[in-house]
């Protein structure tokens, strides 16, 4: 059986290096190309210098990287991901998107591309986080009345978007289960005399500091009790390994828009 040929975008970043290492350690995937942004000091280096495959040079020529590839894994930024997405459609290459910070219009572009190629898009690729999404759905059904809902997330000092895509994903799961619109019920900050808490809201609190990989807690606070559902990531490998499962899933399935719930069979 031939190996799945993988292109990794943003290979010199924290997630990119982890993806290189995980692909190198896998039995059924092979690094086809490694991409970085123009001007990167990594350009021209052998991917093995970043824990990737020896003999694969890091480049910025996306069309050249995509020729003959099966899937692109992208954990970069929205603008770069959308550029890669357009080229993936041209070359018939599937894409796994772990990038966060998309607006509604950009998400619509991801959905439109799924008419031509396979797309797995998830705010978090971790198997544990996606199981947590399923647990939250159950919890929200049971705790739909009399419980205030707050989402607390913490990440490293370098993260550029807030709240995290995972926290927003958790909020969307809870809001959808409760029949609410997260855009209308989310509260992203509190300061001063705020008045009593509106029970229909879902609150978010963000912490940034140090090298925290990713902590997320959804708090259901009732009268006399609190239920907390928490996921803590200690290594980026959990996200990378989930992305590799998504790549395998796309190889075996037709073009379409998928998330990690599809990949893990949780739907």
* Whether pLDDT at 230 is above 90: yes
Total Cβ atoms within 10 A of residue 109: 14
Average pLDDT over residues 40-47: 95
pLDDT-based confidence at residue 1 (cuts at 50, 70, 90)? confident
Please check whether residues 58 and 143 belong to one and the same domain. no
Task: Give the whole-angstrom CA distance, residue 174 versus residue 106.
Answer: 23
* Whether pLDDT at 43 is above 90: yes
Please check whether residues 241 and 117 belong to one and the same domain. yes
Beta strands in the chain (DSSP E): 4-8, 29-35, 58-59, 71-74, 94-97, 118-121, 148-155, 186-187, 202-208, 214-221, 226-233, 256-258
Task: Give the whole-angstrom CA distance, residue 2 versus residue 191.
Answer: 57
* Whether pLDDT at 132 is above 80: yes
* Whether pLDDT at 100 is above 90: no
Q: What is the pLDDT of residue 123?
A: 80
Please check whether residues 73 and 179 belong to one and the same domain. no
Domain span at 38: 4-125+236-263
pLDDT-based confidence at residue 228 (cuts at 50, 70, 90)? very high
Q: Which of 3, 5, 159, 251 is catalytic?
A: 159
Active-site residue, 231 included: no
Please check whether residues 34 and 12 belong to one and the same domain. yes
Average pLDDT over residues 15-34: 97
pTM for the whole structure: 0.83
Please check whether residues 195 and 205 belong to one and the same domain. yes
- Predicted confidence (pLDDT) per residue in 200-218, tens digit: 999 999 999 999 999 999 9
Number of domains composing the chain: 2
Please check whether residues 60 and 185 belong to one and the same domain. no
Q: What is the pLDDT of residue 185?
A: 98
- Predicted confidence (pLDDT) per residue in 135-159, tens digit: 999 999 999 999 999 999 999 999 9
Q: Which of 155, 156, 232, 251 is catalytic?
A: 155
Please check whether residues 254 and 148 belong to one and the same domain. no
Q: What is the pLDDT of residue 216?
A: 98
Q: What is the pLDDT of residue 267?
A: 81
Residue 108 neighbours by CB under 8 Å, 6+ apart: none
Please check whether residues 255 and 220 belong to one and the same domain. no
Active-site residue, 159 included: yes
Please check whether residues 174 and 196 belong to one and the same domain. yes
DSSP secondary-structure letter at 95?
E
Please check whether residues 134 and 106 belong to one and the same domain. no
Q: What is the pLDDT of residue 101?
A: 87
Please check whether residues 214 and 248 belong to one and the same domain. no
Average pLDDT over residues 252-260: 96
Average pLDDT, the chain: 96
Average pLDDT over residues 177-188: 98
Task: Give the whole-angstrom CA distance, residue 54 versus residue 257.
Answer: 33
């Amino acid at each position: 059986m031939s190996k799945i040929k993988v292109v990794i975008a943003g290979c010199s970043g924290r997630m990119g290096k982890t993806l290189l290492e995980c692909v190198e350690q896998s039995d059924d995937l092979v690094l086809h190309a490694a991409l970085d942004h123009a001007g990167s000091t990594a350009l021209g280096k052998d991917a093995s210098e970043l824990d990737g495959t020896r003999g694969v040079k890091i480049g910025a020529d996306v069309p050249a990287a995509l020729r003959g590839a099966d899937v692109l894994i992208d954990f970069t930024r929205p603008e770069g991901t959308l550029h890669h997405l357009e080229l993936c459609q041209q070359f018939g290459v599937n894409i796994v998107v772990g990038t966060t910070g998309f607006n509604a219009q950009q998400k619509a572009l991801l959905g439109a591309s799924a008419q031509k190629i396979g797309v797995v898009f998830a705010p978090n690729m971790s198997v544990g986080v996606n199981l947590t999404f399923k647990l939250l759905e159950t919890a929200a059904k049971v705790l739909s009345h009399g419980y205030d809902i707050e989402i607390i997330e913490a990440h490293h000092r370098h993260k550029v978007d807030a709240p995290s895509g995972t926290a927003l994903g958790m909020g969307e799961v809870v809001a959808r289960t409760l029949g609410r619109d997260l855009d209308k019920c989310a509260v992203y900050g509190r300061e001063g005399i705020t008045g009593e808490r509106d029970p229909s809201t879902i609150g978010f609190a963000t912490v940034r500091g140090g090298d925290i990989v990713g902590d997320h807690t959804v708090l259901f606070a009732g009268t006399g009790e609190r239920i907390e559902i928490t996921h803590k990531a200690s290594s980026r490998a959990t996200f990378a390994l989930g992305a590799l499962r998504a790549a395998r899933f796309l190889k075996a399935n037709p073009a379409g828009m998928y998330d990690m719930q599809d990949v893990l069979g949780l739907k």
